[in-house]
Amino acid sequence: MTSSILLPLLGGALIGLSASLLLLANGRVAGISGVVGSLLAPVRGDVAWRVLFFAGLLSGGLLLAWVRPGSFPAPSTPSAGGLWLLVGAGLLVGFGSRLGNGCTSGHGVCGISRGSVRSISATLTFMATGVLTVFLVRHVL
């Protein structure tokens, strides 16, 4: 029990540290959908840090794949149905998080940390529809 929550806690603490660093250094909110999604509507002078944050995520991913490959699921080839599911999931995640002005990081971590009512509402909403979706997929369909 204690050991099984230790890594989630430590990983979460690193995420909180990362968000704090970005706020302290750049005065920016570490909301992934906003940081990266805004690259599709670039504003002059506001592009480089977003690209570098994205590059940091990818570099961190490479580092993880090298030193801790178990962080990622074992490679598998999804079925045709699985592919369409991924397309639909990606579209919904991208569209929804931009329309709702944030995702798990922007609302769930940064927004809740400052006690934002909007972010608390958003987090409760996406948690609820996420739970409902998994319930329908796993226990009803």
Torsion of CA 120, 112, 56, 54, to 10 degrees: 30
Side-chain-facing half-sphere of 19: CA atoms under 13 Å = 21
Report the nearest approach of another protein to the CB of residue 30 (Å). Answer: 6
Size, binding site for another protein by CB under 8 A? 117
Q: Is 141 in the site for another protein (CB under 8 A)?
A: no
Rounded-to-integer distance, Cα 76 and Cα 103, Å: 27
Q: Is 2 in the site for another protein (CB under 8 A)?
A: no
Per CB under 8 A, contacts with another protein among 7-46 are 7-38, 40-44, 46
Q: Is 77 in the site for another protein (CB under 8 A)?
A: yes
Per CB under 8 A, contacts with another protein among 109-138 are 109-110, 112-114, 116-118, 121-123, 125-135, 137-138
Residue 112 three-state SS: helix
Q: Which of 141, 113, 108, 138 is nearest to 125 (CA)?
A: 108
Report the nearest approach of another protein to the CB of residue 140 (Å). Answer: 10
